[in-house]
Structure 1
């Protein structure tokens, strides 16, 4: 390929990337929400509602779930919803720092730069929305284990390119499938359904950008680079997914914590729900060369494949 062909190809890629960013900016202008106005924060919590679709509970399908009263089941799903929200806040803070670092000192007139700032603004609003939602669910602040927090600190500092954007995509895709179920489920508290709907609509743009950036950063990547980044992304995915539901939710729901943790970890129904939610994601990672034998170890341990 001549230098002219290479230059033309690079110019075309840059033009395509800018066109995608412009479409995302236009979509953001036309369809975005203000959670302060859209979510019903004033109406007291109705404890007759769940926090998630019951089928997404970590104990659904176990003998313990069958023994629980309807009140206990609803309280557990509310605590689980708050835990997922808290984990979402933790990862969104990592996401914002990675995107800011990636676009540091780049051309601010580039639509991709402007979209990156728009995405960060969205994530700030989402984090506040999740925090207020968890508080309304009467839940404490759930945080990942200390080791995971420190690994996240390292990841946000060193991850770049496709490793950063593919990890962002994993976190958003898994949550997206869950929330699409919850936002349509009338058993779920109305204000939680509104939160889920806002997040699903706005995150669909973020996932589009993350997919495109992952593909773009992988152009010309060699075998070794793909192998290394595949493991990095898989390790980050394992940490994120296994941190979604904090072990403390069971005690806070008034359950026997030891038994609940034991049955949740052996729950084949919940594992199958996670796997089904990730089918499209795994297909995408495979198409990018990021689903390797080494990475499969992490995905299988996290029940994502």
Structure 2
């Protein structure tokens, strides 16, 4: 089956300080200035609106760093306004570097892959019908088309149905084809109606793409890398880890360093191996390269810190080169 391609937004798109949207001359109130800054960010991020947590954190960061409250200010010239918009973009970019957003830009390609293969589509339609036919009576209502589209989801290129928005693309297509109400459909009729809707949807998406934020966590080692790059902080981390290691082992030589670091390393950026199989495999790879004969409960401070530093640097480098994606939608 097809899976609509994902795009990782890590802030790179916001670091070009040449604004794409025009900046008005003359006084601009803070609320309008914020709208301009958010519109500039949205233009660069495939048209998405900034999630509220990112927006509010950016405003708080600017307020704390520059004693500047967007909403209470009036910007009297375009240079001052442009400078503030640029600052807003960079603050959001820093947030996305640490915690990237993952989006799918739906353009109809994934749907066409399914529709162009008759066997694939027939199997998809049959599976959807069977799953939705809870009573096993061989009939579904037209209303179940919406449920089928919901089950297909973004992975197969179907945007969410936003019933509250009169201009919503998918809702309008469903209404256009009369896929509403309690009228009963057999499996063949259901498949025909679904196919017609998906073909219309693929055509519409090819003309006007829809961008959807995905519930996907990106583990890229950013927090761990920050710890490693801050020498003072890193030395403090190593010292704390060493003291906790001595307590953890209490002189026992058979204690596992891996298990210790997986627990104690969460606070400074090590991912949990329980978060995904990929993280566990990463730990398998890194720790397989460590000479276990050198890791004992009576390790001295310097030896312990050399080994741990090597492990953390390898994990950070691996995650930076090959981030791990955890699908929270499952």
Normalized against structure 1, the TM-score is what? 0.24
Q: Which has the higher helix share?
A: 1
Normalized against structure 2, the TM-score is what? 0.23
Larger relative contact order (C-alpha < 8 A, sep ≥ 6)?
1
Q: Which has the higher strand share?
A: 2
> Which protein has the larger Cα radius of gyration, Structure 1 or Structure 2?
2
